[in-house]
Structure 1
Amino acid sequence: MNTITNSAPLDSVCIVLFGPHAVGKLTVGAALSERLGYPFVHHRDVHDLVVAVWGAEAGGNERLHRHFRTRICEEAVERGERGFVFSCVWDLDDDEHRAGVDEACAVFRRVGWRVLFVELAAPLSTRVLRVRPPLRRLYERDRFDADVMAGKPLRWALGRFNSKGDFPYPQEHVVAPNEDDRPWPAVESVLAQLSFDGLNFSGARATGAVA
């Protein structure tokens, strides 16, 4: 686990939140967005946009996901945002997934932003429970969730979504456990590791959404 020293102010920072399915990217991403005042785009938002336009068969089209995600990142820069958070379900061994993440990050790096990778981690036993209602938002329920609820978490092993000491950007990477039902312990861990000082967590609100 690395600690990233924040020698710059809280401006011009993109946080890439990643990890396996149901590790809490939605919950922690929304809490980070609230605490830092950055816009947040959850990977499922991009997925649902693709499906809404071209149907369920296009839901797994990585090229379309890359196109929309990159354009949203460009819009954040063009609008003069202070920072940005986006999440991804990233198979670390898949070249196409890596290229898609690189493409989005390049939008920010070209204008001098820092890009920080925040990896969430939780055991499979914890994540399986999170796909059961009411924790999982109903619009996110799909065949994937149904398989897990039926005791068949086989599809969870189709990619490698956590690092094993071989993350491609080791100097920009921190890991945060997220086994709590509330996002704030993970958020505190992330911000402490990123050396974001002077933030007040006393008024943190709990939220039930987990994704």
Structure 2
Amino acid sequence: MSQTSAPPTLIFIIGPPAVGKMTVGYELARRTGLKLFHNHHTIELALQFFPFGSPPFARLVGEFRQRILEEVAASDLPGLIFTYVWAFDQPGDHASVARLADIFAPRGGRVLYVELEATQQERLRRNETEFRLAQKPSKRDVAVSRQRLLEHDSVYRLNSGGEFDHRADWLRIDNTELPPEAVAERIIDHFALPAAGA
């Protein structure tokens, strides 16, 4: 990072599958100038070689994400938006988020968390949208994708239930009926994020 650069910002956009993390992330990136690194950038790459959930798949996804965040944190980029499905009942997910956040914090970076939540019915609808399927080839078998979404909802706790609402670095938004533009504006206003080019 150059001497004249401001400390980088890492924004986690968290929430269950098909809640709108990537779509909101694109809108937020457009308005702030931060780069978007959505979780399927690494998933789709690793799936070219190994099955979902296999040990080599998990290692590659984890290492790709860590290295990209390390390079961004050390660069002149203003920061990064990263999307993540966080199972709040899984200690491994807490550890993964903390490990990624710790890449930015020692450099004086700002780490922020945006949690999205929406009804399952709305998420099932979004699971089949054109933009999602264009960006995430592994979701194009919509029957399988739908079944996985339902299974994950039944097995994991994919929203915090307000557990972190007291934190200044955490913003929870029910975006069931909100367009991504409105969600992005709320994030920008809440955290006083600079506009692109500012």
Give your verdict on TM over 0.5: yes
For 1:47 and 1:148, how far apart are their aligned partners in 2? 14
Whether the aligned pair in 1 keeps the contact of 2:15 and 2:21 (CA below 8 Å) is yes
For 1:195-206, what aligned pairs fall within 5 Å after superposition? Answer: 195-196=192-193, 199=195
For 1:59-98, what aligned pairs fall within 5 Å after superposition? Answer: 61-98=57-94
For 1:22 and 1:50, how far apart are their aligned partners in 2? 20
1:136 to 1:94, Cα distance in 2 relative to 1, 3 A: same
- Between 1:162-171 and 1:99-108, the stretch displaced more is 162-171
1:63 to 1:179, Cα distance in 2 relative to 1, 3 A: same
For 1:65 and 1:150, how far apart are their aligned partners in 2? 23
2:143 matches 1:146: yes
- Segments of 5+ residues of structure 1 without an aligned counterpart are 1-8, 201-211
For 1:94-173, what aligned pairs fall within 5 Å after superposition? Answer: 94-138=90-134, 139-141=137-139, 145-147=142-144, 149=146, 153-167=150-164, 170-173=167-170
* Greater helix fraction, Structure 1 or Structure 2: 2
Alignment correspondent of 2:171: 174
1:39 to 1:169, Cα distance in 2 relative to 1, 3 A: farther
For 1:152 and 1:188, how far apart are their aligned partners in 2? 28
Question: Offset at 1:94?
Answer: 0.8
Question: Offset at 1:180?
Answer: 4.2
State the one-letter code of the partner of 2:163: D
| TM-score, structure 2 as length reference | 0.82
Task: Say how many residue pairs are matched.
Answer: 190
For 2:15 and 2:85, how far apart are their aligned partners in 1? 6
String of CA shifts for 1:7-27, please: whole Å, max 9, x gaps.
xx9852110110011000110
Whether the aligned pair in 2 keeps the contact of 1:16 and 1:86 (CA below 8 Å) is yes
String of CA shifts for 1:98-120, please: whole Å, max 9, x gaps.
11111111110010101000011
Give the secondary structure class of the aligned counterpart of 1:164: coil
Alignment correspondent of 1:3: none
Whether the aligned pair in 1 keeps the contact of 2:34 and 2:80 (CA below 8 Å) is yes
Whether the aligned pair in 1 keeps the contact of 2:10 and 2:104 (CA below 8 Å) is yes
State the one-letter code of the partner of 1:191: I
State the one-letter code of the partner of 1:141: K
For 2:172 and 2:97, how far apart are their aligned partners in 1? 18
Alignment correspondent of 2:47: 51
String of CA shifts for 1:126-169, please: whole Å, max 9, x gaps.
101111243531514156x4146579823322211111122398
Q: CA RMSD in A?
A: 2.9
State the one-letter code of the partner of 1:81: L
| TM-score, structure 1 as length reference | 0.78
Give the secondary structure class of the aligned counterpart of 2:125: helix
Alignment correspondent of 2:24: 28
- Between 1:121-130 and 1:53-62, the stretch displaced more is 53-62
- Between 1:28-37 and 1:159-168, the stretch displaced more is 159-168
